[in-house]
Chains A and B, each alone.
Chain A
Amino acid sequence: MAPRSSTTRRGFLKATAAAAGAATAPYVITSKALGDATTPPASDRIVMGGIGLGNMGSGDQGGFLGRPDVQYVAVCDVRQKWREAGKGRVDGKYGNADCAAFIDFRELLARDDIDAVHIATPDQWHSIMTIAACRAGKDVYLQKPETLTLREGPLMVAAARRYGRVVSGGSQRVLEDYRTIVDPCWAGELGRITSVDLNVGPPAMACYLPAMATPTDIDWDLWLGPAPWEPYNPGRCDGNFGTGGNSWRSYIDYSGGSLTDWGAHNFGGTIFAAGLLDLQPTKVTYHPASDDGKSAAFVTLTYPNGVEVHCNRPQHLRPQDAKAVVAHERGITIRGDGSPIPPKAVPAYSGTGGIYGDFIDCVKTRQRPFRDIELACNTMTAPHMVALVQRLERSLEWDRAAQQFKGDDEANRLLDRARREPWTL
């Protein structure tokens, strides 16, 4: 399929300027637009588009496309295969060929008929696209990990709040997969939470894959976007879920590795269960490997309420306190002091249809979604900080108000990274 439009920045600017003065096409009311017993009329449907239609994006698309209260009108992907597949699913659903297909997300965001977008690109794009969508007045469902750097989170939250947008993070597992630790914690069965142990994967690595000829079915410059220019290699940009190489999730320019990719779920469930959603760590302690080789290095996050979250703490160093109340799930152990505390109701999704339904319901009601971007970004501070101290091999203290590490210039250098021109936040 021929791309619907060009992809150059200057071309985009000209196109949007021209579009602003273009005459509008006449609108014909169809029978479907009026709705029926199962489908709301067009005026009540949320008009959506999707950006990034690969593995996770296609799943997200399916979650929204199947809803009668959503009218799905456009897809965007820099890879022809995913773009065409995404368009095909929409056209197949509606029995027409109306779904627009874009290479450049800015063209999709320029469509005023679109109310909301879902974004499932490699992570280097998340902040730029989310902020651009907010500026365009779109609501956003953003795949996890929501951020690639610590500095992006506050900027994304500021954009969402400034423009009054509903922006939901995209970890459905936080509420759905960790109930065996969430329920007892929120019911007060563990008492005051004191500590957590969880196992996390490795951080992303540098990529030195060889240059290969760039295929014609990918806009490589736009795939890289704000990331450093490096030559095309399929292992650099494959969207598979591996993090050991041969996928973008493996590499530091596009991902935080398994530490943030799976960590968004694992930390998400932990932080939700332990009641740390509004908090950010104040101390990040690096425990080096023991000289005798018996203990591997691990990291402890200390929250302002005193809760300690130990990441990859060796088993023999974990407390065996018989009085502790322990809940296990997916490698997570949460301990409480057993003190009596009142139960709290576990927050639930709005609407119907899981996290997708929650987002759509909030688009309609203008409530904050279960996985509101601020809570999601707070969660992501944890794995980002773990990655940072693992890289620096020393402990750090975090000043949340200043969004800086205390007295460590090198650590503060890693709060963000320069984006490749012309991309900026």
Chain B
Amino acid sequence: MPFDTTTLDAPFAALKSFDWGGDAAPFQTIDAAVIAAHADTALRSDLETRFAAILGPGTSRAAKEYVCRKLSLIGTAASVPALAALLADKDNSHMARFALERISGPEPVDALRKALGDVGGDLKAGMISSLASRRDAASVPLFAALLAGDPAVAIAAARGLGRIASPAAAAALAAAKATGPVADAVIDARLACADAFLAAGDRTAAKAIFEAISSAVGNAPRTHRERAVRMAAQSGLFAALDDTVAP
């Protein structure tokens, strides 16, 4: 039986003025509609239109947060513009990403990539995290350019490149001139790339990274961190050499 969308009018009216501590009972109807929308494209479209209206000006942070959670489940490209408009908003950026990161297709990724250039500081680190979770190859040169700037952003960029773990990402990390905590993040990311290459069967690429890191750490690590990195590089190197070493 099709979902009766007239039952949504009152809950959506209540949602407009919802704040934490308010009556959440009307949400049960919306929650049920979101589940039903899995098999009902018309209902999904109806819900997205209603949700987009809540994401505009004049509604509370709590209401927007609720909507982003729901769009993270059923949102499509149609919801991207309303969500993208929140990405530069300090209060709502994370929840916009919460939804966009989960929506399939190129539109949400394009929106996140565009916002990467529009925001700074922690919000930029957030965009990097979401783009990395989507393994967006087009972000690699953008992340690479961020390795030399604000340390917090540079660390996020390094971790993002490690998550993408493509040859281009590995090359960008290898070229990074970093110090301190950023350098540590670059090493972690290079190890992640090498592990990914090894898992994919590219022993040559993996070996080159493991050798470079092993050489950089040296034979006399002084700290727990250095010992762990050396272990990662040397055990990785061993694995990369495994089928070429004489028994």
Q: Which residues of A contact B (CB under 8 A)?
A: 9-10, 13, 16-17, 20, 112, 114-115, 134-138, 158, 162-165, 206, 208-211, 228-231, 233, 391-394, 409-410, 413-414, 416-425
Contacting pair B228 A228 (CB below 8 A): no
Q: Which residue of A lies closest to B228 (CB)?
A: A137
Residues of B within 8 A of A162 (CB): 191-192, 195, 232, 236
How many angstroms between the C-alpha atoms of A134 and B225 in the bound complex?
9
Q: List 11 A-B contacts (CB under 8 A).
A: A9-B152, A16-B181, A17-B179, A163-B228, A165-B228, A206-B27, A208-B20, A410-B73, A418-B133, A420-B94, A421-B122
A163 to B95, CA, bound (A): 33
Question: Could you say which residues of chain A place their CB within 8 Å of the CB of B191?
Answer: 162
> Nearest A residue to B75 by beta-carbon distance?
A413
Whether B231 contacts A164 by the Cβ 8 Å rule is: yes
The reply to whether A137 and B223 form a contact with Cβ atoms under 8 Å apart is: yes
> Contacts A13-B181, A135-B188, A418-B94; is A164 near B228 (CB within 8 Å)?
yes
User: Which residues of the other chain, B, contact A13 by a CB distance below 8 angstroms?
Assistant: 151-152, 155, 180-181
Q: Evaluate contact between A417 and B21: CB separation under 8 angstroms.
A: no
The 7 A-B pairs at the shortest CB distance, nearest first, are namely A210-B21, A137-B224, A421-B126, A137-B228, A413-B102, A424-B129, A163-B228
Q: Could you say which of A10, A208, A229, A391 contacts B152, with CB atoms under 8 Å apart?
A: A10
Q: Establish whether residues B35 and A393, one from each chain, have CB atoms under 8 Å apart when the complex forms.
A: yes
Chain A neighbourhood of B47, CB < 8 A: none
Say yes or no: B24 contacts A206, CB within 8 Å. yes
Q: Does B164 contact A (CB under 8 A)?
A: no
Chain B residues closer than 8 Å to A422, beta-carbon distance: 122, 125-126, 152, 156
Q: Which of B92-117 contact A (CB under 8 A)?
A: 93-95, 97-98, 100-104
Q: Is B72 an interface residue (CB 8 A)?
A: yes
User: Are B229 and A163 touching (Cβ within 8 A)?
Assistant: yes
Most B C-beta atoms less than 10 A away, residue of A114, A231, A414, A420: A420
**Residues B93 and A421 in contact, CB atoms below 8 Å apart:** yes
- How many residues from B make CB contacts under 8 Å with A? 60
Q: With a CB–CB cut-off of 8 A, which chain A residues contact B97?
A: 418
Q: Which A residues touch B94, using CB under 8 A? A: 228-229, 418, 420-421
Is B247 located at the chain interface by the 8 A CB criterion?
Answer: no
In-complex Cβ contact of B225 among A135, A231, A424, A425 (8 A): A135
Cβ 8 A contact of B95, one of A114, A165, A209, A228: A228
- Smallest CB gap from B127: residue in A: A421
CA distance A15 to B184 in the complex (A): 15
CB-defined contacts of B91 to chain A, threshold 8 Å = 229
Main secondary structure of the interface of A (DSSP, over half): loop
What residues of chain B have their CB less than 8 Å away from a CB belonging to chain A? Answer: 19-22, 24, 27, 35, 38, 62, 65, 69, 72-74, 91, 93-95, 97-98, 100-104, 122-123, 125-126, 128-130, 132-133, 151-152, 155-156, 159-160, 163, 179-181, 184, 188, 191-192, 195, 223-229, 231-232, 235-236
Expressed in whole angstroms, the minimum distance between the Cβ of B74 and any Cβ of chain A is: 7
Give A331 to B155 CA distance when docked, in angstroms. Answer: 47
Given contacts A164-B232, A229-B94, whether A115 and B224 have CB atoms under 8 Å apart is yes
B227 close to A137 (CB less than 8 A) = yes
Tell me the nearest residue of chain B to A17, going by C-beta. Answer: B180
Given A10-B152, A208-B22, list of 13 further CB < 8 A pairs?
A9-B122, A134-B228, A164-B228, A228-B98, A233-B20, A391-B35, A410-B38, A410-B74, A414-B102, A421-B94, A422-B122, A424-B132, A424-B160
Q: In the bound complex, how far is the Cα of B192 from the Cα of A158, in angstroms?
A: 9
Nearest chain B residue, comparing its CB with the CB of A131: B188
Residues in chain B near residue A115, CB distance under 8 A: 224
A230, closest chain B residue (CB): B20
Out of B20, B22, B73, B229, name the residue touching A231 (CB < 8 Å).
B20
Given contacts A9-B152, A112-B223, contact A208 B132 (CB under 8 A): no
Q: Across the interface, do B152 and A394 meet the contact criterion of CB distance under 8 Å?
A: no
- The answer to whether B232 and A394 touch across the interface, beta carbons within 8 angstroms, is no
Residues in chain A near residue B27, CB distance under 8 A: 206
User: Which residues of A lie under 8 Å from residue B229 when comparing CB positions?
Assistant: 137, 163
A424 in contact with B159 (CB, 8 Å)? yes
Residue of A nearest to B23 (CB): A208
Q: Enumerate chain B residues within 8 angstroms of A163, measured Cβ to Cβ.
A: 228-229, 231-232
A284 to B59, CA, bound (A): 38
Q: Name B69's closest neighbour in chain A (CB-CB).
A: A206
- Does the CB pair B181–A17 fall under 8 Å? yes
CB distance from B156 to the nearest CB of A (A): 6
CA–CA, A409 and B44, complex, Å: 14
Across-interface contacts of B228 in A (CB, < 8 A): 134-137, 163-165
Closest residue of chain A to B223 (Cβ to Cβ) is: A112
Q: How far is the CB of B11 from chain A (nearest CB, A)?
A: 14
Give bound CA distance, A137 to B228, whole Å.
5
Give CA–CA (A228, B95) in the complex, Å: 7
CB of A252, distance to nearest CB on chain B (Å): 9
Set of chain A residues within 8 Å of B195, measured between Cβ atoms: 158, 162
Question: Is the CB–CB distance between B35 and A211 below 8 Å?
Answer: no
